Amino acid sequence: MPAWLWLPCLALLIIYNPLRQQIAQGQLNGVLLLLITFAWLASRSHRACWTGVWLGLATVIKLTPGFLFLYFVLRGQWWSVAAGLAMIVTATLLTILVLGVEAYQDYLQNVLPSLNTFRTDKANASAWGFWKRLFIGSPAEGILPWMAKPGIAWLGVLLTAGCVIGAIASRTSPQQTPAQADASFAMTVTGMVLLSPISWDHSLILLSLPLLWLMKQMRQDHGINRLSVFLIVFLFFINHKALRVLHEADGVWPMMMGPQFSIGVLSVPFYAVLLMFVLQFQRSGQTAAVQAVRPRPG
């Protein structure tokens, strides 16, 4: 990137909604992004134990990064998996020593059950939010379902999870080149956000690494794929909650929203993340094809 663009880009970060929400709410996704980046760097440097340590620490802070162990299982990097599990056990025992068992009991008995109400939240950008808004709804959130069929909602979540995990598995193997491994890791991080039970707008900051990878891949592409990447970045910039609050004050938004809202404006962040995953899947396939036809020295 030209040097003169650095200052404008840094200025634009001030209005980048995931970062704004991360700072305003004091969330830990910035810490998780740092730990995931460390795990990615350690993996690229073939430091299997450190890879597991960073990923295990991220999983202890929040369960969502545990999804990334799928990548290392598919890659056959068992030392990374073992180191990660050891880190999880060690950090958990240390936490129990400091805070006591009651903290975990409170988390299991009170915190986890209370999160169910947020899975249908207007701001949930994951597949769970999409399907549950559409087929379960939420009177508290003013969301009316298309059909009150929780079974269909669960089926939609399971089908989405199967497609995402299957796509990641088809692009990940122990024999990958470094470029192919980067592509698979980027897909897995995006899949993590797609399949998390709750992905808020500040959760999208976790997609910084795969988004930068995708932008780098598309720098020579002048077609619709490049326009799609710009659209993703634009949609990430928008503070969707602020727009809803403004329109509610103007009376544009109804008190109770039907399925057209669940399919439409409420699911725009979900569509952006899904489009990002599809583009990564497409580009990772092209990376594999280029590696396959590239002549070997000698």
CA distance 13 to 220: 24
Alpha helices in 100-219 (DSSP H): 101-106, 112-114, 127-135, 150-170, 178-195, 208-217
Q: What is the mean pLDDT of residues 24-37?
A: 93
Would you state the pLDDT for residue 287?
A: 64
pLDDT tens digits for range 246-268? 656 556 666 677 788 888 888 89
> What's the pLDDT at 155?
95
**What residue spans of the chain are helical by DSSP H?**
6-12, 17-25, 29-44, 48-61, 69-74, 78-99, 101-106, 112-114, 127-135, 150-170, 178-195, 208-217, 224-237, 240-250, 259-263, 268-293
pLDDT number for residue 148? 86
| Lowest-confidence segment of 29-38, 190-199, 246-255, 287-296 by average pLDDT | 287-296
Domain ranges of the chain: 14-111+118-293
Closest among 185, 216, 190, 168 to 39, alpha carbons compared: 185
Please report which confidence band the pLDDT of residue 298 belongs to, taking 50, 70 and 90 as the band edges. Answer: very low
The string of DSSP letters for 34-46 reads HHHHHHHHHHHTT
What average pLDDT does the segment 38-43 reach? 95
pLDDT tier at 93 (50, 70, 90 boundaries)? very high
Q: What is the pLDDT of residue 218?
A: 80
pLDDT tens digits for range 130-145: 999 999 888 777 788 8
Nearest one of 161, 280, 283, 165 to 232, comparing CA atoms: 280
What share of the chain has pLDDT > 90, as a percent?
Answer: 52
Residue 119 has what pLDDT? Answer: 82
- Give the rounded distance of the alpha carbon of 96 from its chain centre: 29
Residue 68 has pLDDT above 70, yes or no: yes
| Residue 263 vs residue 89, higher pLDDT | 89
Looking at the whole model, is its pTM more than 0.75?
yes
Q: Which residue in the block uniquely carries the two structure tokens 């470029």? A: 179
Retrieve residue 196's tokens: 């998390």
Condensed to tens digits (0 to 9), the pLDDT of residues 172-223 reads: 999 889 999 999 999 999 999 999 999 998 999 999 999 999 988 887 776 7
Which positions ≥6 away from 162 have C-beta within 8 Å? none
Mean pLDDT estimate for the chain = 87
Query: Does 2 or 263 have the greater pLDDT score?
Result: 263
Host H or E run for residue 254: none
268 near 240, Cβ under 8 Å? yes
Averaged pLDDT, 41-49: 93
Q: What's the pLDDT tens digit per position in 95-123?
A: 999 988 988 889 888 888 888 778 888 88
pLDDT (average), residues 152-166? 95
127's tokens? 């597949």
**Structure tokens that stand for 156 in this block:** 């939609």
Q: For residue 206, what pLDDT is reported?
A: 95
Distance CA 221, CA 180 (A): 19
Q: Let me know: does 29 contact 61? Beta carbons within 8 Å.
A: no
How distant, in Å, are the alpha carbons of 2, 30, 78 from that of 27? 32, 7, 31
> Which pLDDT belongs to residue 281?
93
Q: What pLDDT does residue 120 have?
A: 83
